[in-house]
Amino acid sequence: MIKKFFFIIFSFFFLITNLFAEEEISLKKQNWTFKGVFGRYDNSTLQRGLQIYQEVCSACHGMKRLRFRELKDLGFTNDQIKKYAQTFEILDGPNELGEMFMRSGEPSDTFVSPYKNKEEAKAAFGGIYPPDLSLLTKALKNGPDYIYSLLTSYEETPPPDFELTDGLYYNPYHDGKVIAMPPPIYDNVIEYIDGTDANLHQLSYDIVNFLSWAAEPELQKRKSLGLKVLLFLTALTLLLYVTMKEIWLRIEK
């Protein structure tokens, strides 16, 4: 009787959940290599992602939590990283004379943001600042799929009944279906160093991979350690179970 009761209640529960579910546009789900128990990043896609960030995104967005030395994860050598870091100018100081000075970047430096601070960015973009991308995929619900969907879904002409404010762009995935960021990537916006065809899907896929790595650089280490830990715990728990049964036999006899 109680089972029936719960069945009815739960069905009701699911029914109302679905009834009240807001009409949401479904995400363009991708098969990310970093998803799942054996999830791994693919270095070639990460390197292409870095190139996109470098040539497109970094004009407006910072990634201040990333250090050049971390690029080692992407398969770069120490020398390559050092050379890459040296292409950036970094404000340091004060020196013995109490003055700030510019020096070239070191692998231990963080990525250089295009704006000194949030206020400067806001001033440049009419009150809206381009967020720092270091943690973006973690800071959004279904981050990777959401960003992929957003990047691939700009529409030049909004639906006829939609009134678009000047200077904003139509994108069905963004809040209120408008976004201040102009379409950042499109077919062949850059030319990949490795010669991959730079179509919109590939570009979006690569940049999302790069952003995901930037937000969770520990992911591969975490998952491979997790597998070992869980394997060990399972074996240990089985042994404990057998021991427990053995010990309890003493009084169950």
Partner 1 sequence: MVKKFKNKTLAWLDYRLPIFSVLREALVDHPTPRNLNYWWNFGSLAGITLIIMIVSGLVLSMHYVPHVDLAFDSVEHIMRDVNYGWLIRYIHSVGASMFFLIVYIHIARGLYYGSYKSPREVLWWLGIIIFLLMIATAFLGYTLPWGQMSFWAATVITNLFSAIPLVGDNIVTWVLGGFSIDNPTLNRFYSFHYLLPFIIVGVVYLHIISLHKVGSNNPTGIDLTLKKEKIPFHPYYTIKDFFGFGVFFIIFGIFVFFLPNSLGHPDNYIPADPLVTPEHIVPEWYFLPFYAILRAIPFKLLGVLAMLGSILILFVLPWLDTCKVRSCRFRPIYKQFFWIFIFNFIVLGWVGSKVPEGHYLIISRICTVYYFTHFLIILPILGMFEKTLPVPLNIFKNLKEKKNINK
Cα dihedral 220, 226, 228, 229 sign: positive
Q: 165-203 burial, b if ≥16 CB within 10 A, otherwise e?
A: eeebbbbebbeebbbebebbbeeeeeebeeeeebebebb
- Binding test (CB under 8 A) with partner 1, winner from 37, 97, 100, 102: 37
* Residue 225 is a binding residue for partner 1 (CB under 8 A): yes
Distance of closest approach, residue 203 Cβ to partner 1, in angstroms: 24
Which one of 63-71, 73-81, 99-107, 183-191 is the stretch in contact with partner 1 (CB under 8 A)?
A: 63-71
Spatial CA neighbour of 105 closest among 67, 75, 54, 73 = 67
The answer to whether the CB of 103 falls within 8 A of the CB of 92 is: yes
* Residue 20 is a binding residue for partner 1 (CB under 8 A): yes
Q: Which is nearer to partner 1, 107 or 183 (CB)?
A: 107
> Which ranges in 87-142 belong to alpha helices (H)?
118-124, 136-139
State the Cα–Cα distance between residues 228 and 28, nearest whole angstrom: 33
Cα dihedral 112, 118, 122, 127 sign: positive
Which one of 77-85, 140-148, 176-184, 187-195 is the stretch in contact with partner 1 (CB under 8 A)?
A: 140-148
* Residue 130 is a binding residue for partner 1 (CB under 8 A): no
Q: Which is nearer to partner 1, 22 or 79 (CB)?
A: 22
The answer to whether the CB of 118 falls within 8 A of the CB of 129 is: yes
Q: Which is nearer to partner 1, 155 or 245 (CB)?
A: 245
State the Cα–Cα distance between residues 40 and 220, nearest whole angstrom: 6
- Tokens for 246? 């053995």
Per CB under 8 A, contacts with partner 1 among 67-126 are 67, 70
* Residue 234 is a binding residue for partner 1 (CB under 8 A): yes
Distance of closest approach, residue 141 Cβ to partner 1, in angstroms: 5
Question: Which residues contact partner 1 by CB under 8 A?
Answer: 2, 5-6, 9, 13, 16, 20, 37, 65, 67, 70, 131, 134-135, 138-141, 143, 215, 217-218, 222-223, 225-227, 229-230, 233-234, 236-237, 240-241, 243-244, 247-248, 251-252
